[in-house]
């Protein structure tokens, strides 16, 4: 494979992988879920900031409330001591403090309303994120199961085609074996008949084989003649017909027939 072809294969593989990731709904669902989680985190961060600001104004208002009460006590004590001027000063400061308290009270109420709205938004968004997460995982599980089925079916289909190829290979092997067996039988016949020379046999082996075959035929003819003569003269089964368990020892060891 040339370098250009190899690069083309690599680029095609990477492109297919990228398309697979884009088409995979699980990644899209995960991305959407992450965006919703980020939005929820932003809402919670804003809620924390509003709650902090409201608490700070609340603490400031509590300090002003304590001072407001102390000024009232000081005005009363000044009157008790006959110091009307000090009582007037305390009441003037108390009156000024009332305006400041009214201003921060308005801010406090606005922040309290914002906090309530953010809490409601956070609750509803958290519920949507939780529901989306449940549905996302269900869809991902369904997709994974379907993908597994597709891969299993494709694998089974591939195995089926491979089995067909294997069957064809077996048929071809059987044909070759049959052809080889026929060829072996044919060469055996040719060797036996002398039509095919055995290059591994010693010189003049064909003459030895023919002489041996002729000797065998002559021996068979003599034995057959002896059996006929024995039957004609009632001499029994003929020579070499020994009995007993060791009769096999005499096979080929008896006197030669005339």
- Helices 84-193 and 25-80, packing angle to 10 deg: 170
User: What HEC string does 149-200 produce?
Assistant: HHHHHHHHHHHHHHHHHHHHHHHHHHHHHHHHHHHHHHHHHHHHHCCCCCCC
| Residue 223 to residues 210, 218, 227, 229, Cα–Cα distance (Å) | 20, 9, 6, 10
In this prediction, residue 9 has a pLDDT band, given cuts at 50, 70 and 90, of low
Residues 14-40 have pLDDT tens digits of 555 554 555 778 888 888 889 999 999
Element (H, E) at 35: helix 25-80
Q: Above 50 in pLDDT, residue 82?
A: yes
Residues 145-184 have pLDDT tens digits of 888 888 888 777 665 556 566 667 777 877 887 888 788 7
* pTM of model > 0.75: no
Residue 195 φ/ψ, nearest 5 degrees: -70, -25
| Residue 88 to residues 64, 72, 84, Cα–Cα distance (Å) | 19, 10, 6
């Amino acid at each position: 494979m040339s370098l250009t072809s190899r690069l083309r294969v690599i680029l095609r593989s990477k492109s297919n992988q990228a398309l697979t990731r884009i088409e995979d709904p699980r990644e899209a669902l995960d991305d959407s879920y992450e965006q919703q989680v980020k939005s929820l985190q932003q809402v919670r961060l804003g809620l924390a900031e509003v709650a902090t600001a409201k608490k700070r104004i609340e603490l400031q208002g509590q300090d002003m409330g304590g001072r407001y009460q102390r000024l009232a006590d000081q005005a009363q004590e000044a009157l008790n001591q006959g110091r009307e001027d000090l009582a007037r000063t305390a009441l003037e400061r108390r009156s000024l403090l009332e305006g400041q308290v009214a201003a921060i009270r308005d801010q406090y109420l606005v922040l309290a309303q914002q906090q309530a709205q953010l809490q409601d938004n956070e609750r509803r968004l958290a519920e949507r994120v939780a529901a989306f997460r449940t549905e996302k995982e269900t869809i991902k599980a369904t997709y994974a199961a379907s993908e597994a089925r597709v891969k299993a079916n494709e694998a089974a289909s591939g195995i089926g085609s491979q089995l067909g190829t294997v069957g064809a290979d077996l048929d071809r092997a059987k044909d070759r074996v049959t052809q080889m067996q026929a060829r072996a039988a044919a060469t055996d016949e040719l060797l036996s008949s002398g039509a095919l020379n055995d290059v591994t046999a010693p010189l003049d082996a064909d003459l030895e084989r023919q002489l041996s075959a002729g000797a065998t035929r002559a021996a068979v003819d003599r034995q057959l003649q002896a059996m006929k003569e024995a039957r004609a003269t009632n001499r029994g089964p003929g020579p070499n017909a020994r009995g007993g368990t060791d009769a096999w020892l005499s096979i080929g060891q008896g006197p030669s027939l005339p």
